[in-house]
A = this chain, B = another copy of it.
Amino acid sequence: MPHLDLDLDVVSLTAALCDIPSVSRDEDAVATAIEDALATLTHLTVTRHGNTVVARTELGRATRVVLAGHIDTVPLTEPPNLPTTRTTRTTVEPAELVGRGTVDMKGGVAVQLRLARQVTDPHVDLTYVFYEGEEIDGEFNGLAHLAADHPDLIAGDFAVLLEPTNGSIEGGCKGTLRADIALLGLAAHSARPWNGHNAIHDAAVVLDRLVAHQAQTVTVDGLEYHEALQAVGISGGIAGNVIPDRCVVTVNYRYAPDKSGADAVAYVRGVFDGFDVQVQDNAPGARPGLDLPAAKAFVEALGVPVGPKEGWTDVARFSALGVPAVNFGPGDPNRAHADDERAPLQQFVDAERAMLRWLA
């Protein structure tokens, strides 16, 4: 079985974690390695649920902070972009760690493990969550499983999700709603369209409204969130000689975290008033909560730039449990999932140091 040495420096530990491949649904080896490594730390109580591992201090502190990261990755490239390699610094590029998981998000996991190893007597109680199934359908999400089955294990006053943020703090996240707008016509032979009604032509108005739509920028707890309403899919037509009787436009609304899920539904229905809007999925965002004392202490201790998180992340799962949460981790999110996924070595070191400034 692979073994993890938590006394390694954070870069080497990131490489070791990456070199245990853990594509979604195949996290057993890395989960076991993490569980075994944590089991040697007597200040932590370790429990496992599927391939999700939770380690907690139980010091009776007034505040509990949750540090969470997923241990799965998207699939490897062909040929595989593992094991990891290191580049040397050039005049234009820093030294980097290259390979699947270096950005999303074995670096964050390595920081968690290094903190677990070093922070034995923190001023707050700490919960470390290493969870499976983040990169695939929500039904497999280990954090969602904990929230449903063992919410006590992830309860806390403040949470940090160590997803890549390029070293800055990204607060909260936008919500995301997907809806289908179905246009219904009447099929006919395309040589005699006057016998039917073209559903694709009816989609013109829907697209016109999308093009004309002015997305809002909303300030929540001091951070500016840029909303967006965009088509992400359109389909219609069954044959080259048939007037289509159905066309579906799929829209995605990314909304500021001051809106509830119901607010978002009402907004989209308003934009497409008069049309058949069917909501397919809807996940509200998370307020950054940067006005809360625990969050303020975190921001002050780290001393790094603070901005909004535009994409939806699992911080919203904490938010839904009443736990304010932020994103902070090494790696540029634009490099996540890329074939040449890579991150500067210095970012791993800086992230570990920043977290130690806060917790130690």
Contact = CB atoms under 8 A, between A and B. Distances in A.
Contacts of A56: none
Interface string A191-233: 1111000101101100110110000000000000010101111
B231 A192 contact: no
Interface residues of A, number: 44
A100 to B, nearest CB: 19
A239 B230 contact: no
A310 interface: yes
Interface string A165-206: 000000000101010000000000111111000101101100
Copies of the polypeptide in the assembly: 2
Given A200-B207, A204-B208, A204-B211, A191 B237 contact: no
Contacts of A204: 204, 207-208, 210-211
B236 A236 contact: no
Given A189-B311, A232-B190, A252-B190, A240 B178 contact: yes
A161 interface: no
Given A240-B250, A247-B234, A201 B207 contact: yes
A207 B312 CA distance: 32
Interface in A239-260: 239-244, 247, 249-250, 252, 254
A182 to B, nearest CB: 13
The 5 A-B residue pairs with the shortest CB-CB distance, nearest first, are A233-B237, A204-B207, A191-B311, A200-B231, A191-B310
